[in-house]
Amino acid sequence: MTGKWSRSGIPHKGWTCVNVEDLEEPSAICEMCESQEIRYVHYMTHPDNAEMLGVGCVCAEKMEQDYEAPRMRERVLRSASQRRRNWLRRKWRISHSGNSYLNTDGLNISIFRKGSGNWGGRILERSSGRSVESRKRYATEDAAKLGAFDGMIFLKAKGWAKT
């Protein structure tokens, strides 16, 4: 056992994952074992430990005492990462008003000019009609499309467009 695993006073089980992040490449060190380089960071909390820890999958499994949930979280992120890489290559259609749009996963995603030289987007949940428009302005149409992808993933995690 290395790192915090070998220290007394640090709980070894009973942790809860509150978020997981894809760093896009292995660029952090697990804060529990303090030895494994990680790409996917599972942010763990424990009622008896004030500090939140960013850990890798193997340590998250042991800390949660769940050997499926951490792997599932990483699988979801891996899938989203692959979809994001292919997002700009998708067949975007052009609306009557000249805007790029895509219908996917129960959502209508539109990209449009916002002011002089800026781009924005809107995501519409087709079943309910609820929508959200980007507040952020993007320098290029492709940047707005990638921003829309990130927004779609966020909204789906919040329960939008369950099919």
Q: What is the pLDDT of residues 90-117, one digit of tens each?
A: 999 999 999 999 999 999 999 999 888 8
* The pLDDT value given to residue 163: 54
Quickly state the pLDDT bin for 161 (edges 50, 70, 90): confident
Instruction: Please tell me the pTM assigned to this model.
Output: 0.68
What range does the domain containing 125 cover? 93-157
Residues 83 and 10 in one domain: yes
Domain boundary among the residues 57, 87, 117 is at 87
Residues 40 and 20 in one domain: yes
Residues 77 and 128 in one domain: no
For 39, other C-beta atoms within 10 Å of its C-beta total 18
H/E stretch holding 87 = helix 69-87
Distance from the first to the final alpha carbon of the chain: 44
Cα separations (Å) of 121 from 49, 71, 100, 118?
A: 41, 32, 10, 11
Residues 73 and 106 in one domain: no
Number of domains present in the structure of the chain: 2
Please name which of 12, 20, 33, 138 lies closest in space to residue 78, comparing C-alpha atoms: 20
Residues 11 and 78 in one domain: yes
Residue 162 lies in a domain: no
